[in-house]
Amino acid sequence: MTWSAPVALAVVIGMAPLIPGIAAKTKARLAGRRGPPVLQLYRDLGRLWHKGVVYSRVTTWVFRMGPVVGVVTAGLAACLLPLDGRGALITFSGDFVAFAYLLALGRFALVLAALDTGSSFEGMGASREVTVASFAEPALFLAFVALVLATDSLSLGGALGGPLVQAWPAATPALAMVTASLFLVLLAEGARVPVDDPATHLELTMIHEVMVLDHSGPDLAMILFGHAVKMTLFAALLIGAIFPRASLPVLPAIGILVAGLVVVAVAVGIVESVMARLRLTHVPQFLTAASALAALGVILLLVA
Amino acid sequence: MTQIVELLLLLVALTNFVVLGTTRLSTCIRAIAVQGALLGLLPLALYPGGSLHTWGLAAGTILVKAIVLPRFLRWAIREAAVRREVEPRLGYVASLLLGVAAVAAAFAISRQLPLLEQAREMLVPVALATVIIGLLVLTTRTKALVQVVGYIMLENGVYLFGLIHVERVPFLVEVGVLLDVFVAVFIMGIVVFHISREFDSLDTTRLTELTD
Amino acid sequence: MLLLALLGVPAVAAVVAYALPAPGARAAWLGLSASGHLALVALAWFAPPAPVFAGWLALDALGLVVLSTVSGLFAVVAWYAVGYLRRASPRGGRAFASCLLAFLGAATLVAVSHHFALLWVGLEGMTLAVAPLIFHRHDRRSLEAVWKYLVISSVGIALALLGVFFLATAQAVAPGGRPLVLDDLVSGAAGLQPAWLKAAFIFLLVGFGAKMGLAPMHTWKPDTYGEAPPLVGGLMAGALTSCAFLGLARVTQVAVAAGIAPFVRPLLVGFGLLSLIVAAAFLIGQTDLRRLLAYSSVEHMGLLVLGLGLGGLGSYGAVLHLVNNACVKGVMFLAVGNVLLSAGEGPAPVLTGALRRTPASGLLLLVGLFAVTGSPPFGLFLSEFAIVSGAFQGGHYVIAFTVLALLAVIFVSLSARILDAVYGPAPAAARVAESPWLVAGPAALALVTLMLGVFIPGPLFRALADGAQVLGGWAP
Amino acid sequence: MIPFFAGLATIVVAGLAPAVFRRRPARAARAFRGLFVLGAAAAAWPAARVLAGGAAVEVRLRAAVPGGDWVFGIDPLAAFFLIAILLVGAASACYGAAYLAPEAGRRPVAVVHLLTALEVAFLAVLVAARSVIPFLIAWEMMAVLAYFLVVFESDRDEVRRAGLIYLVSTHTGTLALIAMFAFWGQPGGTLTFDALAAAAPVGAGAALIFTLALFGFGFKAGLVPLHFWLPGAHAAAPTHVSALMSGVLIKMGIYGLLRVTQLAGAPPAWWGWLVLCLGLASGVLGVLWALTQHDLKRLLAYHSVENIGIILIGLGVGALGARFDAPVLAAIGFGGAVLHTLNHALFKSLLFLGAGAVQRATGTRVIDRLGGLARRMPLTWTAFLIGSAAIVGLPPLNGFVSEWLVYQGLLRSAHLAPARAALFAVAGLALIGALALACFAKVGGAVFLGQARTAPAREGGEARAGLLVPMFALAAACVAIGGAPVVVVGPALRVGATIAGGGAAGAAAAVGPALGRISLLALLLVTLAWGLWWWRERLLARRIRGAAETWGCGYARPDPRMQYTAASFAAPLAAAYGPVAGVEVVREPDRFHTRPRELVLDHLAIPFWGRVRGWAVKLHPIQHGRLWAYILYLLGTLLLLLLYLALQTGGARP
């Protein structure tokens, strides 16, 4: 671990609120609107952080704990990714299990916080959240398996590091499928179209948004920030898979990461513009397709 | 003496057919009494020296099989006021035909078995035939009393076969045999008596309460 | 002398019992004489008695095992009868004790006779002694039961007699040796005429099999056990069947010695499997507890002949199974008897909830269930394990798995019914007092079978091993 | 071995205490708890020494029945299971003392305590047994005692039914084990495990042994489709017994499989694949069916099926590793299996104890009748939450550690060409984890959070200390293992290596370095979360903290009954899996509800028995009561036998 890892971490976390902003901007532009400023989320966060809070009388400490855990797990998960392309802050054999399960812990906390309100809407959102996640998880893990197979390394630092550079030419179709799968997972985990629609205003159709209806003030800020970090992490994971940067010097590596994040955000925005949201009952099929893609990648790698 | 033995055995076989073919209960009992008497005579014919052992056996057999048992059965008929028909499950003609088949089978089986002496060639098949016909009567007649008769025939068949060993197998055993037959029939008789009291009939087709 | 005493005690006691006027005295006399007999049997373990009557009566290992089993079971049943006769008074009470003692005498004769005709006489005696006991209620059902029992077992016993004569015939071809004496049959087995011997085996198998209750000659069993007083049922299932099995074992002994084991074993195995199948099929949906036990008895008879037929370790298993089966059947029948007593006389209702009405008997029933289904650590587990091992050893995998599958089916039906009887809803909540007379005996038997699962005393093991050896097998 | 047996004896004596001090319940409970914990500690002492690297101990007793000596010993495998048994046993028993106290007088409580003590003692004897006869005795005693415990409330019909199904299943499994041992022990006749290991067959013989082992032990473990007895029995038993059953009793199936693998050598490859696939099926279906349950205890019981699946995945990987001569992989696979066994024992019994506390407080286990208990039972909720997070496999708790180890095994199969297809199980394991998360979100949310849905749920108060202390002891163990996995992973890998026949050092080198990082991660997680919480509290201390009704999206008068129900929560997942989920939707004019179905029990096991029954009943007319036919049977038999004679002899006239 060198100085580059904390720097990259700081860059990613710092950039996180930008990503939804870019996506929203892209979407607005493509629709011919001006859209909110790219930095809108920073502003929202700042404002929320300085507000007071209103709590439902039904809630307990679980409700307040949810956002905290959500942010902390997202941050810790970020420590596990080799954001600078060469090594993570914390790396160990099988650390991507920790990556996924840390994010799962965050989700668990938020879902419980939602259920703590006793609201039927938030219950509905929580239910959908866990449903979607359960279909996304196998795809994510299969993608990891493919990376492990391609690189023969059991840690994220290795799987997204040097060996992947050599693996790309040898197994281009397989890795392409894996990255495609990762992109689909990103859409699901980031609560974006076609799985979820961050811009909807009808609670009955929401997933992630409706889960946090009752949060306010700093709690809501933490949720929004944590969610942005999480989405950024998936984007960073995707970039890591597409552009293994172990051989590049540090600054270009981080530069590519930043550029890549922007590109992914734009891509998300484009998807949101050109696709309609899926019916909820079709989400499982969509994510199963993601799993199938990743599984195909694994099969290709196994056969090779 | 062989001719006498064969004659006696033939008569035994005939009495079997009488039981199979008769419609009357009393005929059945008479036939079984005759068979008992014939069985009593057989040891004397088979072992012409006439030891005390043989004579004793003959006397005992005649006493039990020809006198006491038939008497007892007649007493049971009277006490239980049984109707005098045999009431077969299977027709008389069919029974007779089956009886013939049984005799044929008995002869066939006997030929498979290594025999001891030429003189007793008839003994084994007739014994077996009596056993089989006894079983036949047991299964094809509905009246408890006739079934007892069938059982006595079965025992008679066994006894007939035992006659081969009268010299070798000591006295004690034969007493046991006679005693057993006696006790078995005696107890069966008591039960028959109770059956008639409980069910107002000796028809065992009514004894079908215990099933699964 | 000891042998004569063993035979004499029950015989004299039977006569004395008939003479005793007071019912209480008769019951006590029954218990005392049974205990005396048991003491004599115990003596036989320490001082093996010499053969008498030119070897017609002798006590070998197999006989000793059967005799001890029967005598022990009988002692328990006799003392149980003390309590039982206070609560229920079967008709012909005077003959009740005498018949029981006569039954013991006949059983002793079977166990100690080394002469096939004597053995046959003993078995016939047992059959006849038990008939009046079945007919205790003098109603239609018990009448029907006793009629069927008498006819079928008499037919069976007649065929067995024919078998005995065949055996004599087989021996007569090769003169020399005392006729029908077991030891001479075995030692001169090579000279026996095989065809007659095989015929003898078949008739004895059918005859003794009918006594044991092997399928398809078992048809009398559910009816008889279902109608007899439970203690008589226990004696029949534990002692009468054991003695009949001893007869079958004796003739198997001769057959094995004569080298016709390949002819004999498939027959025994076939009857064993058939009995297991029939028992499994008829246990399903059986609601009457005593009929349930009857089919369970068919099952265990099947296992016995199966072990005998498999040979090897199976022979050892069969002999051990005989002891265990007698104990367990005692426990079960006596416990069911208590449950029936608590329900009162009359046609048996569907009994449930014994644990609430009669806790001790309910518990015994529960213990009996696990013992009778061969659960460790009860003795039946070891014997069934030995029989299954015997099947594997002989390479009969299909048989082994068939047996185990059938045991599983049997377990389902047995446990379903008995657990219902134990735990099910109690019809009347009132608890019924249980006399210690009625509980101590079956409890003792349960302890014995429990002990046999973890501890087989050395002398007993040697006797079992000897028994297995003469049957053409070996002990582990 | 002396402290071991002395400890077990003390446990049994503890079991007698409630009967002895029947008149003084307080003293009885004290004596019971004190002696039980003392005995468990004494018995666990030698096990702990073995796990710490001490030599295995063994004692040989001359047996009075055939089958060779009765050997008892503690080797690493036994020691690992012993720790789980004694820990969970002590916790459950102590809990039981308080849990059953309200029932004293109505039901035979003292008997239950004695049976519980015996159950724990026989479980311990089972894993210590090193020869067949004592093994089978302990096995059956364990099973039968558990039956008696299950039917504690035998006045209820469904309890008796569940008990019967359990008993029949366990006995069937035992018969398979009897077949296995009888077959295995046939050449020698000596039935010590040493002798069995020496006589381990190869080829078809080994296949037979492993098949029977999988059937017999699998029935106990409750792997799909042999799990059908499990939910009913767990739901029917008193709660602390459910905890004991789910925590350790069903694990004896796992123990048996591991022991057989150790004795019989590397299992055939197909067996490894089969176990892996069954593990996946159990895991996915178990958690899916758990999700659809309405009864809290049934739900937890189905989670046992799920976790058995996870354990079997590890076991399958271990078996493949052993087969293909990759001891490191095998050690990691088996190590993951045993570690997850321990962890599941801890958190599942914790969850059951929590469910028991809920039932005591509210009188119901129906999830949709509860709600809002977090306010009235904060401590119970805390413990339950720790258990929930642990069972879902979330860091920083113990479930994460063992699932991570199982993942390690799966991923390392990438290096082993013939076993590489095992990698696909990773997806299954991920799915299991995500579904478990959904399920425990549902449980926590519906039972403890929100508002009470019915009157009983409004009345419940915090559980008594007698219930809480055992729960927190287990929770502490979960946290400790999660925070410092190095304590248990090493021993687990050593156990795995004894089964795999080597590879301890390699496995330790492979996964050892990660353990410190996991601890670090746990530490960071807790510290950061606490720090952020503290910061937030400080921020908010100076601001307005309003209180209001939950936002109803404009609806003014929300009502507790309007809350999202647990059934609705699970509905999208149940719908996605269609008929496999087995949810029956009942639409009535005035009601609309769902009912979980027991797919295997109701559609496979019971119909199968019905078929058997049908065949049997077809035979019943044989016994039609007509004597003449009975004699005909006899005659027919005789004639058939004579025919056989004729064919055999073929007219041998001299």
Domain edges within chain C: 2-470
Q: Of D265, D287, D309, which marks where a domain is finished?
A: D265
Residue D579 located in a structural domain? no
Phi-psi region of C267 (alpha: psi -120 to 50; beta: other; left: phi over 0): alpha
CB A66 within 8 A of CB A221: no
CA distances for C186 relative to C178, C246, C254, D212, angstroms: 11, 16, 5, 42
Q: What average pLDDT does this structure show over D534-542? A: 91
Maximal CA-CA distance, chain A: 60
Q: What's the pLDDT at A209?
A: 87
- A281 contacts in chain D (CB < 8 Å): 572, 575-576
Q: Do residues D353 and D286 both lie within one domain?
A: yes
β partners of residue D72: D59, D129
CA distance A146 to chain D (A): 9
Cα–Cα distance between A189 and A185 in angstroms, integer? 6
CA distance B143 to B87: 7
* ipTM field: 0.93
Burial D296-333 (b: 16+ CB within 10 A, else e): bbbbbbbbbbbbbbbbbbbbbbbbbbbbbebbbbbbbb
Q: Is residue B211 domain-resident?
A: no
What range does the domain containing D249 cover?
Answer: 1-265
Structural domain spans, chain A = 4-303
DSSP D557: -
Whats the size of chain C, residue-wise? 476
Q: Which of D243, D265, D287 is the last residue of a domain?
A: D265
| Contact residues, A window 24-83, toward D, CB-based 8 Å cutoff | 49, 51-60, 62, 64-65, 68-69, 71-73, 75-76, 79
**DSSP H or E segment with residue D57:** strand D57-61
pLDDT tens digits along A210-238:
898 899 999 999 999 999 999 999 999 99
What is the average pLDDT value for chain D, to the nearest integer?
Answer: 93
- Does residue B54 lie in a domain region? yes
Q: Which of D501, D533, D565 is at the close of a domain?
A: D533
Regarding predicted confidence, which is higher, C342 or D292? D292
- Domain of B34? 2-206
- Provide the sign of the torsion angle of the four alpha carbons C315, C317, C323, C327, taken in this order: negative
Q: How far apart are CA C310 and CA C388, in angstroms?
A: 9
Q: What is the structure's pLDDT at B186?
A: 63
> Would you tell me how many other CB atoms lie within 10 Å of the CB of residue C108?
29
Residue B82 confidence (pLDDT): 64
DSSP-assigned letter for residue D463: P
CA distances from A234 to A8, A179, A264, D163 (A): 15, 11, 10, 50
**The predicted structure's pLDDT at residue B177:** 63
CB contact under 8 A, C407 and D175: yes
Q: Six-digit token pair at D30? A: 């004290």
Whole-number pLDDT of residue D653: 43
How far is A141 from chain D, CA to nearest CA, in Å? 6
D285 and D426 housed in the same domain: yes
**Inter-residue contact B135 to C210 (CB < 8 Å):** no
pLDDT one-digit tens code per residue, C411-436: 999 999 999 989 988 766 567 778 88
Let me know: does C408 contact D178? Beta carbons within 8 Å: no
Give me the residue from B135, B165, B207 closest to C168, CB to CB. B165
Q: What is the pLDDT of residue C345?
A: 55
Size of chain A in residues:
304
pLDDT beyond 70 at B179: no
Q: How many other C-beta atoms lie within 10 A of the C-beta of residue B200?
A: 11
**Single-letter amino acid code for the residue at D272:** G
Question: If you ran DSSP here, which 8-state letter would residue C213 be given?
Answer: T
Contact D632 B205 (CB under 8 A): no
- Residue D552 confidence (pLDDT): 78
Q: Which residues of D touch C174 (CB under 8 A)?
A: none
Mind listing the pLDDT tens digit for each residue in A121-166?
Answer: 999 999 999 999 999 999 999 999 999 999 989 999 888 887 888 8
Q: Which helix (H) or strand (E) covers residue D59, if one does? A: strand D57-61
pLDDT at B201: 61
pLDDT at C476: 82
The predicted structure's pLDDT at residue A17: 95
Name the pLDDT band for B84 (thresholds 50, 70, 90).
low
Residue D236: pLDDT band (50, 70, 90) is very high
D613 falls in which pLDDT band (50, 70, 90)? very high
With cut-offs at 50, 70 and 90, classify the pLDDT of residue C177. confident
Residue B174: pLDDT above 70? no
Sign of the CA dihedral with D512 first, then D515, D517, and D520 last: negative
Asked if A223 reaches chain D (Cβ–Cβ under 8 Å), the answer is no
pLDDT at residue B170, rounded to an integer: 62
Domain count, chain B: 1
Do D27 and D14 touch, CB atoms closer than 8 A? no
pLDDT at C346 over 60: no
pLDDT (tens digit per residue) in D380-412: 999 999 999 999 999 899 999 999 999 999 999
User: What domain count does chain D have?
Assistant: 3
Model confidence over C122-139: pLDDT tens digits? 998 898 888 888 877 777
Cβ-based contacts of C384 with chain D (< 8 Å): 178
Residue of D nearest to B141 (CA): D628
User: In the structure, how many helices (H) and strands (E) does chain B have?
Assistant: 8, 0
C345 closest CA partner among C199, C169, C139: C139
Name the DSSP class of A35. Answer: -
Cα D309 from Cα D303, distance rounded (Å): 9
The secondary element (H helix, E strand) that includes residue D73 is strand D70-74
User: Residue D592: exposed, middle, or buried by beta-carbon count in 10 A (0-12, 13-18, 19+)?
Assistant: exposed
Give yes or no for residue B204 having a pLDDT over 70: no
Q: Does D650 touch chain C (CB under 8 A)?
A: no
Does position D651 have pLDDT exceeding 50, yes or no? no
Give the N- to C-terminal CA distance of chain A in Å, as an integer: 33
Q: How far is A142 from chain D (nearest CA, A)?
A: 6
Residues of D in contact with C370 (CB under 8 A): 144
Res. B169: pLDDT tops 70? no
Name the residue with tokens 């030995």.
Answer: C386
Q: Residues A259, A262, A266, A268: what is their CA dihedral angle, to the nearest 10 degrees?
A: 110
D68, containing H or E segment: none
Q: Express each pLDDT in D264-313 by its tens digit.
A: 999 999 999 999 999 999 999 999 999 999 999 999 999 999 999 999 99
Q: B149-163, B192-206, C178-192: lowest mean pLDDT where? A: B192-206
Q: Are residues D258 and D362 in the same domain?
A: no
pLDDT reading at D550 higher than 80: yes
Nearest C-alpha in C relative to D164 = C416
pLDDT score recorded for residue C353: 83
Q: Does the pLDDT of residue A247 top 90, yes or no?
A: no
Q: For chain C, positions 323-342, list CB contacts with chain D under 8 A.
A: none
Looking at residue D650, its pLDDT comes to 58
Record: contact D627-C420, CB cut-off 8 A? no
Q: Region C233-256: what's the mean pLDDT?
A: 95
Nearest to A134 among D438, D517, D532 (CB): D438
Q: Which residues, at least 6 apart from B130, have a Cβ–Cβ distance to it below 8 Å? A: B12, B13, B16, B153, B154, B156, B157, B160
Q: Is D617 touching B (CB cutoff 8 A)? A: no
pLDDT-derived band at D66, boundaries 50, 70, 90: confident
Are both D129 and D147 inside the same structural domain? yes
Q: Distance (Å, rounded) from C-alpha A193 to C-alpha A199?
A: 9
Task: Give the lowest-confidence range in A241-245, D91-95, D426-430.
Answer: A241-245
Contacts of D105 (CB under 8 A, 6+ apart): none
Mean pLDDT of B142-152: 82
Which residues, other chains included, contact D293 with Cβ-Cβ below 8 Å and sequence gap of 6+?
D231, D299, D302, D367, D596
Which pLDDT tens digit goes with each residue over C262-294?
999 999 999 999 999 999 999 998 888 999 999
C159: nearest CB among D175, D623, D638: D638
Structure tokens, C251: 């003739």
Asked if pLDDT for residue C394 goes beyond 60, the answer is yes
Q: Does the pLDDT at position B114 exceed 80? A: no
Q: What is the pLDDT of residue B199?
A: 64
Residue B83 pLDDT grade (very low, low, confident, very high; cuts 50, 70, 90) = low
**How many Å apart are CA C181 and CA B170, to the nearest integer?**
12
The pLDDT of residue C139: 77
